[in-house]
Structure 1
Amino acid sequence: MNQASDHTFDLIVLGTGSAGQSVATSCREKGWSVAIIDPRPFGGTCSQHGCDPKRVLAGAAEIIARSRSLKGRGIESENAINWSELMAFKKTFVEGIPESTEEKFEQAGIHYFYGTASFADKNSIRVGENTLTGGKILIATGAQPAKLSIQGEELLGNSEGFLDLEELPKTIAFIGGGYISFEFAHIAAEAGANVHIIHHNDKPLHNFDPDLVKALVAQMEHLGITFHFNATTEKILRSGEGYVLEGKKNGEPFRLECGLAVHGAGRVPNVDDLDLEKGGVAADKKGVTVDEYLRSVSNPDVYAAGDVSGSPGLPLTPIAGLEARAVTANLLEENSVRPNYTATPSIVFTYPMLASVGMTEEQARESGKEIKVNTVDMSGWYTYKRIGDSPSMAKIILDKSDGSILGAHVLNGEADHLINYFTIAMRHGLTAEQMSDTLFGYPTEGSDMKYLLEM
């Protein structure tokens, strides 16, 4: 712990993830005195227990899937995942992050504290035996798994635990049909596990296009993943070295044995230990209630950014960065910047990948705009046929009045690239005609854009 002789600071930051680090460092560079607090190893979830290590594992699963797609088309045999070697490789991306983050704070002159932070009053934070006073306070504590209120909930693993598994159980059950369950289920299945996903209704990945979700589910079922829709888990019990899940499926008793049960039923703002009431900080289920400048509506000296913020932004790392930049500007320049959330892409890193940006078809139809929906099966197109990429689908939503792109939804092995082209167009107001007129390298997924944007 870096002890401060003076416990009064211009800024106190709660959380050392991407948002907290960014604001703390930027304000310190402008001469502010800054303290930062975290009860966990410094560096945040994304870099150590989330997006980054997950993508390392997903990348290996993707290679296996791509290899299988070309079996009999020039590839003689499939590859296989060595779980222990893959986990060792993953560790090379995360080891040393807490130490390097602490060193960065040292060099910047940021006072850091390990411990659980809580408000003592509107401008004071208690951490361990220290009480710190801040002219301004930033809450950037991220998110945590939502409480499910089921018997035996403490037996559930979570995404962090999955990313640190030394051995892969033979059977794994994921509770919840969100992107965490889909991504980890695909990784586990490609590594040879028997995988189940349990979801409370028949609409998983509810923020994504339902037609493309249906195609993804079919592909994952073909891989061997079992989906239990309209199913709820009511009880988790130990059984030998594994677990038994009990509940209801379509109103009938449901029972499943597994070696590991993983919480994949969503995350919520991490505010439970903050004593927000003592700080006069209003919050609801979406997070800290903020105005358009990301300032607390009830305490003008408090800001929030990232997953803990109740802003309109999605709980994604790029949004944490966007909000951090806005908060920094608003602290230094007295509320001058409103974050621009236009065209936020979201990607499910399964294989095929599912990506989305902008309006869904349903939202576009409800908007009252006159729209054109291009639903395209690209499986037979050269770009995707050459790598056996099937299914390969896209749904593009256009505004007939001006040719603007309202939404884009892609399911294939190149979705992470394609969605970024659409994001650029939507964020900067490029029309379908302008994108179609753009010269992309050939043959690539970019050179196919004009066929997806036909008016």
Structure 2
Amino acid sequence: MKSFDLIIIGSGPGGMAAAYDLVAKGKKVAVVEADLWGGTCPNRGCDPKKVLYGAVEAKDNVEQLNHHGFEKAPKINWAELMAFKDTFTEPVPVEQQQGLISAGIHTISGKAVFKDKHTITVENQDYQAKQFILATGQRSAILEIPGKEHFRTSTDFLSMKELPETIVFVGGGYISLELANIANSCGSDVHLLHHNEQPLKGFDEELTNDLIENLQKRGIHFHFNESAESISKQGAQYSVRLTGKETLLVDRVFCATGRIPNVEGMNLEAIGVDFTSKGVKVNDHLQTTVDNIYALGDCLEKHRPKLTPVSSFEGSYLAKLLSETTQEAIQYPEIPTIIFSSPKLAQVGLTKTRDLASGKYKQQTLDLSKWFTYKHLNESLVKAKIVIEKETGMLVGATVLGNEADQLINLFTVMINQSLPSDKINQMIMLYPTVSSDLSYLY
């Protein structure tokens, strides 16, 4: 039986970060993967989505300059775009596994099942380790309705060779909004169903409404206070019956109503690892209810955003903890989040109404569409909400809606995490005219 210092179950960005750091510290490490090496993000998540979104971004920029240097916007060729996307995703599993092997990390393919707290079985082979890290990620949740077998998921969307003429997305979260925007921009007639009146829960309501209004103008049909009641096959199409009794006849139906942790079938309950439908329970050292088993990433039950860089951060933390270079509890910085839509919506820090109700903060909303940074590209919808702590004058939160929201929020994230006061920003000379050169006017 092969034995290791640590076995990591899952080869996504979090598991990879832990594996590379641990082997560099002299640990004997193995990684187990039941699916594609590299995990969701590079294979069927963030990376392929961003390749598709890149074409949408380029098209949007040209459309903004229609009659200001361009006479017509380009049409996105879906087949060519998907072929381009495949050049990024197809090599990933082999490259990711080979990278581990080259670093001296043992790789094991198959599903891990615990025999006891120091032993797992993979494909009828037992492996032992002093410690384990669970990094198994999540998968798409599917609504339990009649005809649920007709649902497709984000994984299916990101591998479509042909673009359907008509699509329904069920769900009002960031995955649904992002994919709906891509499909609409590429030529599909898109409907989006959401069970209440406010999509993108957790984002600023005012700027979310501005985004939804803009997406409606682009042609996306939003059905609020609605969901899919049933789906039935009708020839080559699908009939989607809504809770309000309307029926939509479409070519594809995608379910994007959330994601669920991959924790079943590992025998965790038998060895005492506590978990819920929201994920594995851990303490502030990412330790589970079994002392030698830790967990990270999207399979956790946590309030922090389940994002790729967060998983990597947790992986690096566990490598330090388990190599005994730190005993401190994990300390998260302020974490930015973003919707890659048209335009982008991003935020960081204190942004929710309940956080601002204490009276300790002041909030300012700015329309940036007349600022040169955005006006020279004829960008008409650009807004920023800035939250300042009254006593110190420090920036503590921000939300930005606009094509350059990712750049601006990253700068705000640095300022918040480094506690940079406005006078420090004013002492810096930035390239002009850029998003960075606007900082001194924003804060």
1:288 aligns with 2:293: no
Alignment of 1:62-73 (within 5 A): 62-73=57-68
Q: Please, which of 27, 31, 49 is the counterpart of residue 36 of structure 1?
A: 31
**Is residue 257 from structure 1 mapped to residue 249 from structure 2 by the alignment?**
yes
Q: Which residue of 1 aligns with 2:364?
A: 374
Structure 2 matches for 1:11-410, cutoff 5 A? 11-248=6-243, 252-296=244-288, 298-333=289-324, 336-366=327-357, 368-410=358-400
Please report how far the alpha carbon of residue 137 of structure 1 lies from its aligned counterpart in structure 2 after TM superposition. Answer: 0.6
Q: Secondary structure at the match of 2:203?
A: coil
CA deviation map 1:394-430 (0-9, x unaligned)? 1111111001112100000100100001000011111
What is the SS of the residue equivalent to 2:270?
coil
- Listed one character per residue, the Cα deviations across residues 210-243 of structure 1 (whole Å, up to 9, x for unaligned) are 1110000011001100000000212121121121
Residue 136 of structure 1: how far off its partner (Å): 0.4
Residue type at the aligned position of 2:297? G
Between 274-283 and 335-344, report the one with greater CA deviation.
335-344
Q: Deviations over 1:350-385 (max 9, x none)?
A: 12110010111403323x242111101111211111
Alpha-carbon displacement from aligned partner over 1:145-203 (angstroms, at most 9, x marks no partner): 12422222222111111111000000111110111111111111111000111101011
Please, which moves more after superposition, 6-15 or 431-440?
A: 431-440
- Where in structure 1 do 4 or more consecutive aligned residues deviate above 4 Å? none
**Can you list the C-alpha shifts for 1:271-326, whole angstroms capped at 9, x where unaligned?**
12322102311112331111111111x10101111111224421001101110011
- For the residue of structure 2 that corresponds to 1:315, the secondary structure is coil
Tell me the secondary structure at the aligned position of residue 408 of structure 1: strand
Contact 2:232 2:240 in 1 (8 A): yes
Q: Is 2:428 the partner of 1:445?
A: no
Deviation at 1:119, TM superposition (A): 1.8
TM-score under structure 2 normalisation?
Answer: 0.97
Amino acid at match of 1:446: S
Task: Identify unmatched segments of 5+ residues in structure 1.
Answer: 1-5
- Quick check: 420-429 or 230-239, which moved more? 230-239
The aligned amino acid for 2:400 is: V
What's the Cα RMSD here?
Answer: 1.5
Note the C-alpha offset of 1:104. Answer: 1.9
- Compared CA separation, residues 342 and 363, structure 1 to 2 (3 A): farther
Cα distance per residue 1:430-455 (max 9 Å; x no partner): 124433443221111222222222xx
Contact 2:4 2:29 in 1 (8 A): yes
How many angstroms apart in 1 are the aligned matches of 2:292 and 2:400?
A: 42
TM-score by length of 1: 0.94
**Counterpart Cα distance in 1 of 2:226 and 2:372:** 40
Q: What SS does the aligned partner of 1:195 have?
A: strand
What does residue 408 of structure 2 align with? 418
Are residues 334 and 342 of structure 1, via their aligned partners in 2, closer, same or farther at CA, if it must alter by over 3 Å? Answer: closer
Asked if 2 retains the 8 angstrom alpha-carbon contact of 1:123 and 1:279, the reply is no
Deviation at residue 258 of structure 1 after TM alignment: 1.2
Count of aligned pairs: 443
The CA distance in 1 between the partners of 2:102 and 2:434, in whole Å, is: 44
Stretch moving more, 88-97 or 53-62: 88-97
Deviation of the 1:110 alpha carbon: 2.2
Distance 1:443 1:148 in 2: 48
Please give the alpha-carbon distance, in whole angstroms, between the structure 1 residues aligned to 2:126 and 2:236.
Answer: 45
Q: CA deviation at 1:209?
A: 0.6
Shift of 1:263: 1.6
- Structure 1 residues 305 and 331, CA, compared in 2 at 3 Å: closer, same or farther? same
SS at match of 1:253: coil
Which consecutive residues of structure 2, in runs of 5 or more, have no partner in the other structure? none
Task: Tell me, yes or no, if the aligned pair for 1:322 and 1:339 is still in contact at 8 Å.
Answer: no
Greater CA deviation, 110-119 or 44-53? 110-119
Q: Contact 2:63/2:73 (CA < 8 Å) preserved in 1?
A: yes
CA–CA distance in structure 1, aligned partners of residues 256 and 329 of structure 2: 32
Q: Identical aligned pairs, as a percentage?
A: 39
Letter in 2 for 1:57: L
Deviations 1:103-137 (A, max 9, x none): 22222332222111222222221212112222101
Partner Cα distance (2:442, 2:249) in 1: 45
Please, which moves more after superposition, 378-387 or 208-217?
A: 378-387
CA distance in 2, matches of 1:436, 1:174: 45
AA partner of residue 5 (structure 2): D
